[in-house]
A and B are shown apart, each in its own frame.
Chain A
Amino acid sequence: MSSRPVLFDRPLLRRRRDRAVRGVAPAREPDFLLREAAERLLDRLSDIRRAFPLALDLGAHTGQLARLRAGRGGIDTLVSVEPSAAMAALAPAPAVVADEDSLPFADAVADAVLSCMSLHWIDDLPGLLAEAFRVLKPGGLFLAMLPGEETLHELRDSLARAELAVDGGVSPRVIPMLTVQDAGSLLQRAGFAEPVVDRERIAIDYADPLRLLADLRAMGETNALAERRKAPLSRAVLLAALAAYRENHPAADGRVAATVDLLTLTAWKPE
């Protein structure tokens, strides 16, 4: 085994995702962000105007991409690959339960490797890109969307302010995010040609920061950092964080702002 430090608690991520799909039906669909990103990814795919007979969706959640694609993107077969068995069970067939960085596919089988809002949970991103490269056919496409850069900076800031005020110290509550520059150099180092990384900023507003936390939980996106504080957020810190959020990150009409920076990674395996 490598002695590389482990950033994420993957079994915990799996449990979070398992639990997310067992949750009670919310008043509105909390996976709106996943579906929004999936729509954008499918638009990008359609713009490429190529056929991708076999595509893999790494970290497929409940199969949003498979269900939304509706014949778009030149794909005949889309295999949903998802680390949570409970989520994979809800995805349209064919689906496989697997970790995205340890793929159960033979070399050079896929015409496209796609991923939508999952790669921010990968410990070993160079390892994942090497795996994607391995399973792609020569000339195959890698296309991934993930939150990066300043995503949820308002939440990170509010939690840090609250913990500093209440506990006198700050623990990692929001995961570190990938930058455009890092993504580009990682793609290049993995051997991909024509790597392009761009960022779209999505501004979301919420009636209350509690709704944001509820959405994150419903998507299985709450903190799964291996070095996270094992104690749950105390009520005092939570209340202070909510107050700090409302005060420092207002949006129009008494609402609060939340930023999501959507990174799109596009690259090709050389012919």
Chain B
Amino acid sequence: MTEVDPALLSLLVCPMSKLPLRYDRDAQELVNDALGIAYPIRDGVPIMLAEEARRFSPEDHGR
């Protein structure tokens, strides 16, 4: 598995809300806990598209 560049992670925010994201290393996701949106990371490339994101209810804390 290719690791995502940590310097890149420090720049990224949610493209819709511009809120900061939490990096879930095990799930390989960038998570917006406030809005309940998780963006997948595939082979070290974050996929920051609304239609590729996983939605969850914010109370579940991303899981």
Q: Which residues from B are CB-within-8-Å of A89?
A: 42-43, 45
By the criterion CB–CB under 8 Å, are B48 and A98 in contact?
yes
CA distance A228 to B8 in the complex (A): 37
By the criterion CB–CB under 8 Å, are A109 and B11 in contact?
yes
10 example contacts (A-B, Cβ-Cβ < 8 A) are as follows: A11-B51, A89-B45, A94-B7, A96-B45, A97-B48, A97-B52, A99-B49, A102-B15, A103-B15, A104-B13
**Which residues of B (7-28) have their CB < 8 Å from a CB of A?**
7-8, 11-16, 18, 20
Q: Which residues from A are CB-within-8-Å of B2?
A: 93
Q: Does B35 contact A (CB under 8 A)?
A: no
CA distance A96 to B45 in the complex (A): 5
Which DSSP category, helix, strand, loop or mixed, fits chain A's interface?
A: loop
Q: Which residues from B are CB-within-8-Å of A93?
A: 2, 5, 44-45
By the criterion CB–CB under 8 Å, are A95 and B45 in contact?
yes
Partner of B47 from A54, A85, A105, A109 at Cβ < 8 Å: A85
Q: Does A77 contact B (CB under 8 A)?
A: yes
**CB of B43 to closest CB in A, whole Å:** 6
**CB of B6 to closest CB in A, whole Å:** 10
Q: Does A27 contact B (CB under 8 A)?
A: no
**CB of A104 to closest CB in B, whole Å:** 4
Which DSSP category, helix, strand, loop or mixed, fits chain B's interface?
A: mixed
By the criterion CB–CB under 8 Å, are A96 and B44 in contact?
no
Interface size on B, residues (CB 8 A): 24
Interface size on A, residues (CB 8 A): 22
Q: Does B46 contact A (CB under 8 A)?
A: yes
Q: Which residues from A are CB-within-8-Å of B12?
A: 96, 104-106
Q: Does A88 contact B (CB under 8 A)?
A: yes
Of listed B5, B46, B49, B50, residue having the most chain A CB within 10 A: B49
Given known pairs A85-B42, A99-B49, A104-B46, the reply for A94 and B15 (CB within 8 Å) is no
Q: Which residues from A are CB-within-8-Å of B7?
A: 77, 94
Q: Does A174 contact B (CB under 8 A)?
A: no
By the criterion CB–CB under 8 Å, are A94 and B5 in contact?
yes
**Which residues of A (86-145) have their CB < 8 Å from a CB of B?**
88-89, 93-99, 102-107, 109
Interface string of A11-53 (1 = CB under 8 A from B): 1000000000000000000000000000000000000000000
Closest to A110 in B: B11
Closest to B20 in A: A106
Q: Does A79 contact B (CB under 8 A)?
A: yes
CA distance A152 to B16 in the complex (A): 35
By the criterion CB–CB under 8 Å, are B18 and A96 in contact?
no
